[in-house]
Amino acid sequence: MVSRLILVLGDQLNKTIAALRAGDKSRDTVVMAEVADEASYVQHHPKKIALIFAAMRKFADRLRKDGWDLRYTCLDDPDTTGSIVGELLRRAEETGATEVIATEPGEWRLIEALEEAPLPVRQLENDLFLATHAEFDAWAEGRKSLRMEYFYREMRRKTGLLMDGADPEGGQWNFDHENRKPAPDEIIGSGPMQFTPDETVARVLDLVEARFGSSFGTLRPFSLATDQGQARRALAHFVTYALPRFGDYQDAMLDQDRFLYHSLLSAYINIGLLHPQEVCAAVEAAYQAGDVPLNAAEGFIRQIIGWREYMRGIYYREGPEYTRRNGLNHQRKLPGFFWGEETKMRCVARAVEQTEAEAYAHHIQRLMVTGNFALLAGIDPADVHAWYLRVYIDAFEWVEAPNVIGMSQFADGGIIASKPYVSSGNYINKMSDYCRHCAYKVKDKVGPDACPFNLLYWSFMERHRERFEQNPRMAQMYRTFDRMEEDRRRTVLAEAEDWLDRMGRGALV
């Protein structure tokens, strides 16, 4: 019988994945490889590389214990070819294997590399997701607009999660209107579960420090889960301590709290340590047991079976060109304060600071602080995309790109969002306590202390008047602007231009 190679990538660390299920321990060899190509196609946050390498090494040990023949390449292996395809060829030569079985990678870059590899690679559908490509396409086909909400309802029906027969639990599909409470005075959660680095993790941290220590991002302290057992404990910890308030404060932000009631599970789910199905099952069980309210359970499950699956569906359906879209023709360069240079904007400074320290910011910080700012300021979406892909622990193009290019920057022309996610300082002030600590004044609409979000909001609207004036969800804002005195309008727009000029020149803004 011919022997085959089973490829397991760094974000496919789950024993149930298709390639392992299709493999045969008696004749096949599993290939796992830490390679320079994957570690440097963008300059990832060092915490992300450490998480992936540590989790890969521990997963490889588990597979060996299960009886698999496994060839593992460490990053500093002197014989490494430095790429996934190169390592497959090397291992094929060593073992005499004539075929590779792979689980389809998450990113076009690697799907294409495997398709073009000079040995046959069978790519099986990635079952770490809940919707197949065919299911997403069947849902999307022929629809005028691809709004997430309708896809989500299909997914509720398919998974049976929070269903009461054919109806949604509680008589409603979506409890989002209950999930917009502003920042609470105090946080009762105890933050994400932390793990002390074991020997494997400690060795990886040294390697990453030596090779990637100069990239943006702080490597230590490192307290992430790096195997399935730990990730499951982190899930249980979240369900007990944070989930009950997750819904209420999902959109809130606090100057002195980086995590509020968020789960911090995205990285574990995205690399396979947790299966989305088990995460949702744990949340549903807590609801059924009466431990968490419906708005929390529904809100959380919607993020996973709705948004997460939908984003992946859009990425795959739109193809490799998607990341290059620039529907609003934004050309400005990303300013230095996204890389930690000083800014007077407290909200942006805090979001970037915690991103550097934790490789994490929660959804509303990503969408309504850094994303909102980049969109209002007219930053080139390619730059914004590159930034998000570099700095977050959970960043993989299949989920990062639709969130950035589509949801946050409206660069896909409105496939994902029906209107751009832009707001003035007012929204940030309502949902956070940042403005209290800021050098700018959120109540000032013009003048030297005016909140830049206020100025840039109107200049964005004016710049794109032709495109958005007829949008029924934006018409009211145009009417508000048009009711202002003409002098005032001119002042706002001139001050916005001046502020952007100063930002472009690298002045402290």
Residues that bind ligand SF4 (CB under 6 A): 345-347, 425, 428-429, 434-435, 438, 440, 442, 451-453
Measured CA to CA, the distance from residue 44 to residue 244 in angstroms comes to 33
Give the shortest CB-98-to-ligand DLZ separation in angstroms: 22
Measured CA to CA, the distance from residue 386 to residue 44 in angstroms comes to 10
Give the shortest CB-202-to-ligand DLZ separation in angstroms: 19
Q: Which two tokens stand for residue 397?
A: 């193009």
Containing 29, the helix (H) or strand (E) segment is: strand 29-33
Instruction: Choose between 109 and 344: whose C-beta lies nearer to ligand SF4.
Output: 344
Pick from 6, 207, 305, 399: which binds ligand FAD (CB under 6 A)?
A: 399
CB contact at 8 A, 399 and 322: no
CB contact at 8 A, 451 and 425: yes
Pick from 380, 400, 433, 495: which binds ligand FAD (CB under 6 A)?
A: 400
Instruction: Choose between 280 and 361: whose C-beta lies nearer to ligand SF4.
Output: 361
Measured CA to CA, the distance from residue 12 to residue 129 in angstroms comes to 11
Q: Tell me how many degrees the CA angle 355-356-361 measures, rounded to the nearest 5.
A: 5
388 is an interface residue for ligand FAD by CB under 6 A: yes
Site string for ligand FAD, 253-272 (x = CB under 6 A): ---------xxxxx--xx--
Tokens 């299966």 correspond to 275
Identify which range of 6-14, 91-99, 247-255, 492-500 contacts ligand DLZ by CB under 6 A.
6-14
User: 425 is in the binding site of which of ligand DLZ, ligand SF4, ligand FAD, none (Cβ under 5 to 8 A by kind)?
Assistant: ligand SF4
Give the shortest CB-341-to-ligand FAD separation in angstroms: 20
Measured CA to CA, the distance from residue 323 to residue 406 in angstroms comes to 9
Pick from 13, 30, 39, 349: which binds ligand DLZ (CB under 6 A)?
A: 39
10 is an interface residue for ligand DLZ by CB under 6 A: yes
Give the shortest CB-501-to-ligand FAD separation in angstroms: 26
Site string for ligand FAD, 364-383 (x = CB under 6 A): --xx---x------------
Give the shortest CB-253-to-ligand SF4 separation in angstroms: 10
Containing 73, the helix (H) or strand (E) segment is: strand 69-73
Pick from 28, 38, 227, 400: which binds ligand DLZ (CB under 6 A)?
A: 38
Instruction: Choose between 34 and 251: whose C-beta lies nearer to ligand DLZ.
Output: 34
CB contact at 8 A, 46 and 220: no
Q: Which of 427, 412, 271, 265 is nearest to 347 (CA)?
A: 427
CB contact at 8 A, 348 and 452: no
Containing 459, the helix (H) or strand (E) segment is: helix 452-463
Determine phi and psi for 440, rounding to 5 degrees: -85, 160
Half-sphere exposure of residue 429: CA atoms within 13 angstroms, side-chain side: 15
Instruction: Output DSSP code: residue 419.
Output: S
User: 263 is in the binding site of which of ligand DLZ, ligand FAD, ligand SF4, none (Cβ under 5 to 8 A by kind)?
Assistant: ligand FAD
Question: Which residues from 298-327 bind ligand FAD, rule CB under 6 A?
Answer: 300, 303-304, 307-308, 311
Pick from 5, 6, 20, 35: which binds ligand DLZ (CB under 6 A)?
A: 35
CB contact at 8 A, 408 and 367: yes
Question: Which residues from 202-241 bind ligand DLZ, rule CB under 6 A?
Answer: none
Measured CA to CA, the distance from residue 354 to residue 390 in angstroms comes to 14
Q: What is the separation of C-alpha 320 from the centre of its chain, rounded to a whole number of angstroms?
A: 18
362 is an interface residue for ligand FAD by CB under 6 A: yes
β 4-7/167-168 pair status: unpaired
Give the shortest CB-288-to-ligand DLZ separation in angstroms: 34
Instruction: Please list, in sequence order, all residues whose beta carbon lies within 8 angstroms of the beta carbon of residue 115, skipping any fewer than 6 positions away.
Output: 121, 123
CB contact at 8 A, 384 and 404: yes
Give the shortest CB-425-to-ligand SF4 separation in angstroms: 3
52 is an interface residue for ligand DLZ by CB under 6 A: yes
Give the shortest CB-4-to-ligand DLZ separation in angstroms: 18
Please report, as ranges, the residues that interact with ligand DLZ according to CB under 6 A: 9-11, 33-35, 38-39, 44, 49, 52, 84, 105-107, 110, 396
Please report, as ranges, the residues that interact with ligand FAD according to CB under 6 A: 262-266, 269-270, 300, 303-304, 307-308, 311, 362-363, 366-367, 371, 388, 392, 394-395, 399-400, 403-404, 407-408
